[in-house]
Structure 1
């Protein structure tokens, strides 16, 4: 099996939870390099990797792929540096802080004939995969109204300036969780015709936005609402979908992040998360006999390993690249449009000039 050498630009939560465990357990990857500017935590679990004190030094090594998993404010700088060093790049979401940076990186990757992928791991959540499945089966008929939520109850400051300081571009929930919800809306329904958004900080002006509501206008009278709040103690359904033949309600039940934080080891080529003990969805629709039918559903496990499997298949077998930068640019355009809409209090219309 061809071995692909990978380097991590940081070893914070993202590196420890979302990347290193999968690179360690996938037989086609070798976690060759880790950047830790001050600590040496990676030496314990990944002693076979080489420790570097800077991204610049790591880029002098023979890694094939660089994972840019640093704060979003540095994504553009490090991704550009890696591409110029001849390395393929995986960038954590959000892709960049703005569209211009994203476009420049995509153009540079094309010029260098290297791949550039954005780590949209929530495409591999069990709840989102279940929504995809239900919609594709067609039991809901023509979809008319959708709400996708990602709520938390985090009323106290986290102390992470790169996420909460309003003076830092790219900070706030819109870039953080919005990058997931917007990506899922685009994957499910495509690019909207118009957008209206309300984005602000419930904790006050000293903090970056921690609340957003985005209304996406589609053809065929479809409306998709994306919403996130850090003042949501009681859980909502994460996905609410209404069509002209029925409705589907899906809870947010993917536990991969929590299990990884607790020390779970992902397994290659099979499900590794704990199975659900209870149903997590409700499907209420008109069956093939036009009779009402209400079914309690249970989603199948998701697996972030599938992202890296797709990366490996792209490298070795030239299969399609998962979440390529050129595709995720549209997410950045929708994030920028949401910021503009909220600031101006206006509906933003998309056309060939701003898409």
Structure 2
């Protein structure tokens, strides 16, 4: 599906970006600006400091105080990217689609799977692209693991362990840590959106979910230490950990198969690079130092020299927006559909019920 304004090869698609906090300024704006065929046209934020930041980083960008101002000139835009707080995703995506604009929404696309499917239905009815920014499908370690699986290096996979752990013993505050259900905060829906999406991409649909979700830190209001155990329809078991209270960080991936296992420590370097103000380019973007390569082998711990180092493929967040541009211009596949995001939300909702009731939930 495409939008009504697909431009020409010589005219970039004009992008309106709603929100210029962490997601908007660190991830979306730099990636949009780095993508051939896209141009950051307008940034929506009412915060004066963020308006000044956007103007300094992108001197030609237009500024709007609110999304209504953006939607009022929908005919001047080709894509809207929603990088505002979680609770605004559904109403803003709805408004953008009704204004006739294709939409990219940051994860989680909605608070419930039903809302995500409702958005997907609206987009289909209007013949518009609706894509979800699941950027960690383009993490270096995930791309490497996908290649190992495609090559059959692990044999039959039995267990997938994925950790997104941090050591943040004091809450930072803000809506992401709010206990108000309307804010859709907490790690289950934040980092959990990533690890669940990755598990589904790798191993397919889930039949059962068990979860433990805890608030550990004094003064915290939302879950900050959560574990999910997923049973996939194909028999793979995924154990997923998201935490702000991990004093010692485990491996990012530990994947065990009938032939070998793959263990990988450390985070993809792209977020740190973007936070430092570096921008995607042809020279080594997403590359990782050899000392951080994962190891593949059987019978011994990587710490004691077991296995062989596996060169990590470069991370490639720019590939997401390149795919969005191709979808709009050429009708290429949507890189992440709302239906895929809804399937992940089915798992997150089941995890929330499981943690609350202390039972496994069958999907």
TM-score scaled to structure 2, two decimals? 0.90
SS in structure 1 at match of 2:141? helix
Deviations 1:43-68 (A, max 9, x none): 11212121100011011221111111
Residue 52, structure 1, aligned to residue 57, structure 2: no
Q: Offset of 1:275 from its aligned partner?
A: 4.0
2:137 to 111, 117, 123: 123
SS in structure 2 at match of 1:228? strand
Q: Offset of 1:328 from its aligned partner?
A: 1.2
C-alpha change, 1:279 and 1:59, in structure 2 (3 Å) is: same
Aligned counterparts of 1:188 and 1:51: Cα–Cα separation in 2: 40
1:97 to 73, 93, 111: 111
Aligned counterparts of 1:113 and 1:155: Cα–Cα separation in 2: 46
Equivalent in the alignment of 1:334: 347
User: 1:215·1:224 contact (CA, 8 Å) conserved in 2?
Assistant: yes
Deviations 1:13-32 (A, max 9, x none): 21111111122122301111
SS in structure 1 at match of 2:162? strand
Residue 301, structure 1, aligned to residue 310, structure 2: no
1:29 to 11, 35, 38: 38
SS in structure 1 at match of 2:222? coil
Q: Offset of 1:156 from its aligned partner?
A: 0.8
2:13 to 4, 29, 33: 4
> 1:203-222 counterparts in 2 under 5 A?
203=217, 206-219=220-233, 221-222=235-236
> 1:124-143 counterparts in 2 under 5 A?
124-143=138-157
Backbone CA RMSD of aligned residues: 1.7
Q: Which runs of 5+ in 1 are unaligned?
A: 287-292, 351-355
Deviations 1:270-329 (A, max 9, x none): 64235414142110049xxxxxx8311220211110001100111111110111112211
TM-score scaled to structure 1, two decimals? 0.92
C-alpha change, 1:309 and 1:113, in structure 2 (3 Å) is: same
Deviations 1:237-262 (A, max 9, x none): 11111111111111233111111111
User: 2:354·2:361 contact (CA, 8 Å) conserved in 1?
Assistant: yes
1:42 to 50, 54, 71: 54
User: 1:140·1:285 contact (CA, 8 Å) conserved in 2?
Assistant: no
User: 1:271·1:303 contact (CA, 8 Å) conserved in 2?
Assistant: no
Residue 69, structure 1, aligned to residue 69, structure 2: no
User: 1:126·1:299 contact (CA, 8 Å) conserved in 2?
Assistant: yes
Aligned counterparts of 2:234 and 2:65: Cα–Cα separation in 1: 54
Q: How many residues matched? A: 342
Residue 344, structure 1, aligned to residue 353, structure 2: no
Instruction: Between 176-185 and 26-35, report the one with greater CA deviation.
Output: 26-35
User: 2:269·2:288 contact (CA, 8 Å) conserved in 1?
Assistant: no
SS in structure 1 at match of 2:206? coil
SS in structure 2 at match of 1:76? helix
Equivalent in the alignment of 2:3: none
2:324 to 311, 320, 329: 311
C-alpha change, 1:43 and 1:113, in structure 2 (3 Å) is: same
SS in structure 1 at match of 2:189? helix
SS in structure 1 at match of 2:229? strand
Residue 321, structure 1, aligned to residue 334, structure 2: yes
> 1:170-319 counterparts in 2 under 5 A?
170-203=184-217, 206-219=220-233, 221-267=235-281, 271-285=284-298, 294-319=307-332
Residue 110, structure 1, aligned to residue 124, structure 2: yes
Equivalent in the alignment of 2:6: none
Aligned counterparts of 1:192 and 1:346: Cα–Cα separation in 2: 16
Instruction: Between 132-141 and 49-58, report the one with greater CA deviation.
Output: 132-141
Aligned counterparts of 2:316 and 2:283: Cα–Cα separation in 1: 9
Q: Which runs of 5+ in 2 are unaligned?
A: 1-8, 300-305
C-alpha change, 1:178 and 1:275, in structure 2 (3 Å) is: closer
Q: Offset of 1:70 from its aligned partner?
A: 0.4
